Amino acid sequence: MLWISRLLLLLSLTFGHLGAPAQAQVQAQARYDHTRIYQVELASAEHVQLFQALELASDSCSFMGHARVPGQKLTIMVTSHKVADFDDLLQSYNVSHRVLNHDFQALIDANYREVAPKGTPPDQFDWRRYFQLDSIYAWLEHLAKQRPEVVTLVDLGSSTQGLPIKGVRIAFGGENLTSVFVESGIHAREWIAPATATYFIEQLLNSKDAAVQALARSQNWLIFPTVNPDGYRYTFKGDRMWRKNRSLFGICRGVDLNRNFPFHWNVTGASGDPCRYDYSGPSAGSEVETQRLVQFLKDHVQSERIKTFISLHSYSQLIMFPYGHTPERVENYEDLKEIGQLAAQRIKEKSGRIYRSGSIYETIYPSSGGSKDWIHGLLQVPITFSYELRGPPDSEDLFILSAEEIEPTASEAFAALQTILEEAGKRGYYQSEAATTDQTPSSSSSSSNSI
């Protein structure tokens, strides 16, 4: 009888249960076991060239930004089979460095355990866990059903892979209000961004704080938590570190949608190679998701009086304003700089976290084809800010922010948003149309009057 039990054991190991091959049930999923995260310091022009060459040559090293200038610190994710080679390279060229993480998969596994199960009812939505696309959309629909007088579901249309791009319009009523547009989740792996956008919605609808209630009623709101739904969905099934959309180009997929907007497209800080993480696309505005946003914003910038545009990203703890493609200053640079610094100050007072503020070009790295440059430069929306949320620039976790940080991150971001709107209001950016024709906001010569 022993042979029968051995045979049964063998069968169960080979086929799982009831004869179905176990292999067929396992979906291919990227793994990062023993993947290391390094932070290197580029001490010289030789180091800069070395890492520029490495980025071009190796797809085993994922760069967070590009090697640009001596003195720069650069974070690089190195896959397990390359760590010995990489370490050798650092020794050979005397590159000072530290290892931020030795086993990235452990972090990802922990992060996946913080995701609410599929089918979690919308009345159990919270900010202690991460939620998948279906759950976020179900929650938005639930809000529109519960509060139809205030919340309207808005669908920008379908994505490359046919998913809807859903958001909400929140309007408590009031004549001739200006609107705030919040774009979030354009980079798929930055999970804290959709979580923060939904927190904004929750606060605007349900806060008991009189100041927040007044703020909510002072503007209309257009909030889109996941403008790259294909990419976001893929981070749960395929690759937690996926950034781009899911368009197919030969052997590689994905356009970085935040490099695809039709304004000074592909001039700097973007790649022409579909296999790179910052591929700008085959042409300006080539992607369906970009087109949906562009069309909606063009159609509504005047009718909704959109004067404020906020985009949510992670990580690095920055509050940035245009431009990204040039060091040239926008016409209301001084206002945006002051407002950004006050918003960062508000965060420091609230949570102690340090956020830096400045133009995209000054604070993070040059990049072109971003939504902020387009909306400010082309549609002339004057108050345009982009957050890089937690963690800090030298984060050991990169985009894998623990769920216990969702609420503190989102609430400090919301406090900063309050400051941005209060300060922009004080500077005259939200005056009624009649008033703005008579009075120009403090240091802005043309931006807010021309739409």
Smaller CB separation from Zn ion, 259 or 292: 259
- Give the strand pairing for 179-184 and 306-314: parallel
Distance CA 30, CA 102 (A): 17
- Catalytic site residue from 183, 289, 304, 388: 388
Rounded to 5°, the CA angle 345-349-355 comes to 45
Smaller CB separation from Zn ion, 254 or 441: 254
Q: In what order do the strands lie in the sheet with 306-314?
A: 151-158, 164-170, 220-224, 179-184, 306-314, 383-389, 318-321, 356-359
Least separation in angstroms between residue 258's CB and Zn ion is: 6
Q: Which of 246, 259, 307, 313 binds Zn ion (CB under 5 A)?
A: 313
Say which residues have a Cβ less than 8 Å from residue 8's Cβ, sequence separation at least 6.
Answer: none
Least separation in angstroms between residue 162's CB and Zn ion is: 24
Smaller CB separation from Zn ion, 399 or 429: 399
Smaller CB separation from Zn ion, 167 or 231: 231
Question: Quick one: CA dihedral 283, 266, 231, 382, positive or negative?
Answer: negative
Q: Which two tokens stand for residue 154?
A: 């808005």
Smaller CB separation from Zn ion, 228 or 247: 228
Three-state secondary-structure class, residue 64: strand
Q: Which of 129, 187, 259, 427 binds Zn ion (CB under 5 A)?
A: 187
Q: Which two tokens stand for residue 418?
A: 């309050």
Question: Quick one: CA dihedral 275, 281, 282, 288, positive or negative?
Answer: positive
Active-site annotation holds for 407? no
Range in contact with Zn ion (rule: CB under 5 A) among 72-80, 113-121, 139-147, 308-316: 308-316
Range in contact with Zn ion (rule: CB under 5 A) among 89-97, 142-150, 305-313, 318-326: 305-313
Number of residues this chain uses to bind Zn ion (CB under 5 A):
2
Distance CA 130, CA 139 (A): 13
Smaller CB separation from Zn ion, 387 or 429: 387
Least separation in angstroms between residue 253's CB and Zn ion is: 18
Range in contact with Zn ion (rule: CB under 5 A) among 118-126, 310-318, 324-332, 400-408: 310-318
- Burial letters 172-189, b for 16+ CB under 10 A, else e: beeeebbbbbbbbbbbbb
Smaller CB separation from Zn ion, 281 or 441: 281
| E strand or H helix that includes residue 344 | helix 333-351
What one-character DSSP code corresponds to residue 329?
A: P
Least separation in angstroms between residue 280's CB and Zn ion is: 14
Least separation in angstroms between residue 196's CB and Zn ion is: 12
Backbone angles phi, psi at 112, to 5 degrees: -65, -30
Smaller CB separation from Zn ion, 226 or 431: 226
Distance CA 186, CA 231 (A): 8
Least separation in angstroms between residue 165's CB and Zn ion is: 17
Least separation in angstroms between residue 28's CB and Zn ion is: 25
Say which residues have a Cβ less than 8 Å from residue 321's Cβ, sequence separation at least 6.
Answer: 330, 333, 336, 337, 340, 357, 358, 359, 360, 372, 376, 384, 385, 386
Least separation in angstroms between residue 176's CB and Zn ion is: 34
Is 259 a binding residue for Zn ion by CB under 5 A? The answer is no
Contact 348, 394 (CB under 8 A): no
Q: Which two tokens stand for residue 239?
A: 């690759």
- Give the strand pairing for 151-158 and 97-101: unpaired
Range in contact with Zn ion (rule: CB under 5 A) among 10-18, 126-134, 247-255, 312-320: 312-320
What one-character DSSP code corresponds to residue 20?
A: -
Range in contact with Zn ion (rule: CB under 5 A) among 94-102, 134-142, 185-193, 199-207: 185-193
Least separation in angstroms between residue 189's CB and Zn ion is: 8
Say which residues have a Cβ less than 8 Å from residue 20's Cβ, sequence separation at least 6.
Answer: none
Within residues 210-229, the interface with Zn ion by CB under 5 A covers none
Residue with tokens 């591929």: 279
Smaller CB separation from Zn ion, 292 or 313: 313
Range in contact with Zn ion (rule: CB under 5 A) among 22-30, 150-158, 180-188, 358-366: 180-188
The residues carrying an active-site annotation are: 388
Residue ranges that bind Zn ion, judged by CB under 5 A? 187, 313
